[in-house]
Amino acid sequence: MRAEQQEIAIDSDTDEGGDFGVEEAIRDLEWEILLAVNNFNREVYDMDFNVDMYEAILGEVEDRMNEWRGSPPTAESIIENLPSVLPSHESSEENEVVCAICKDGISEEVVVKQLPCLHYYHGECIIPWLRMRNTCPVCRHELPTDDAEYEYRKRQREREEMLLNIVAHEDLTQDSEVRPDFHVFL
């Protein structure tokens, strides 16, 4: 309804005084927009703003962005010092040893790279992989990186997980303790 009134005002002003009515209508519209924006800002600031909640939300967003970003490449010193070994006879007897990257079998005569998690890979397969990521393709064991920020976040995650495990263990031990219930009958 307000827009219709504005149109009527514009039409009546232009008929009487030419462009003067249009300019006044535009000025009125600008003022209405400024007032609406000002009222919106006032409403936002009047809300009960919780800084802790805001920081928690930003922390969640940052964590998700880090997950989307993926893991950084493995440290070059780790890649250069990966041991070149012959697959052990025991592991090849238990099941066929396969390079998880190229899916080709690994025979006992072929020298392969071994990760700290004891998985074997062809050198020409695992080295390009590790230059892109810092995890084992099979078990996701994390190798060190040259990214200081990533390493810091990784240590924080590990500490948080350790604390959660301790708390969970304490809760379990408290629940499982036998509490004798003695009654004295007189």
pLDDT of residue 13: 47
Q: Mind listing the pLDDT tens digit of every residue in the chain (186 residues)? A: 455 555 555 454 444 445 567 788 888 888 888 777 777 656 555 555 667 777 777 777 777 766 666 789 999 999 999 999 988 765 555 567 889 999 998 888 889 999 999 999 999 999 999 999 999 999 999 999 999 988 998 899 889 888 888 887 776 666 555 555 555 555
pLDDT of residue 21: 72
pTM: 0.51
| Residue in 89, 112, 90 with CA at minimum distance from that of residue 102 | 112
Q: How many CB atoms lie within 10 A of CB 126?
A: 25
pLDDT of residue 179: 54
| Residue in 128, 86, 81, 121 with CA at minimum distance from that of residue 100 | 121
pLDDT of residue 146: 93
pLDDT of residue 14: 47
| CA atoms 42, 43, 46, 49: torsion sign | negative
- Residue 112 neighbours by CB under 8 Å, 6+ apart: 84, 85, 86, 87, 99, 106, 120, 121, 122, 123
